[in-house]
A and B are shown apart, each in its own frame.
Chain A
Amino acid sequence: GAVVSQHPSWVICKSGTSVKIECRSLDFQATTMFWYRQFPKQSLMLMATSNEGSKATYEQGVEKDKFLINHASLTLSTLTVTSAHPEDSSFYICSPKENEQYFGPGTRLTVT
């Protein structure tokens, strides 16, 4: 069965609103979670790395105030897209650092 889950699997929101995406490790503890973004017909790009109990690290060009990451426990990491705009529409995928075999099923975000 799946060892990493994401919720929601898809979401449509209006421009200017915020959306929270949850990533849960089901059978193990994840101290570090990678968050990727995938635009249509493109590859995955690492956005940020969440660390349990400490601040997330962001890749160059990713606005930390826009993409808020919280890793409050060893089984839950969240990504909040604040003041979403249509250009934020994408497929967001999480993956635990502990095992590159596991990826979440992804969250499709559409901002209208």
Chain B
Amino acid sequence: GEDVEQSLFLSVREGDSSVINCTYTDSSSTYLYWYKQEPGAGLQLLTYIFSNMDMKQDQRLTVLLNKKDKHLSLRIADTQTGDSAIYFCAETQLTGGGNKLTFGTGTQLKVEL
């Protein structure tokens, strides 16, 4: 099956780094994504990484991929109150029917002053 697991909740202080973890089971994943969802809103793509990469950095965001352990993480440097949201990882596989996304269970990030 295709299961993508995340821890449910993370609380950090403003200015600290946040690390959100994700484990997946499908080794054929081609791309892995991180999305942010604010209350009552749709999803915002934050960043993505191709499966043959180990790391990708984009401003305050760093994505690490351990393909052997099927582990993905998102590090947010200098976390701000505006970063409070739910974060979803997602994997996609290129199939005959086209790319399909399987989302993780979501991690709620709370940033405290």
Contact check, A93 vs B43: say whether CB atoms are below 8 A apart. Answer: yes
Check if A32 sits within 8 Å of B42, measured CB to CB: no
Interface size on B, residues (CB 8 A): 21
Q: Inter-chain contact count A-B, CB under 8 Å? A: 46
Interface residues of A (CB under 8 A from B): 32, 34, 42-46, 49, 57, 93, 95, 97, 100-101, 103-106, 108
- Most A CB atoms within 10 A — which of B88, B101, B106? B101
CB <8 Å contact, A104 and B42: yes
Contact A97 B98 (CB under 8 A): yes
Please list the residues of chain B having a beta carbon within 8 angstroms of any beta carbon in chain A.
31, 33, 35, 40-45, 88, 92, 97-106
The interface residues of chain B lying within 8 Å CB-to-CB of A32 are 98
Interface centre among B40, B43, B44, B104, by most A CB within 10 Å? B43
Cβ contacts under 8 Å, A103 to chain B = 35, 42-45
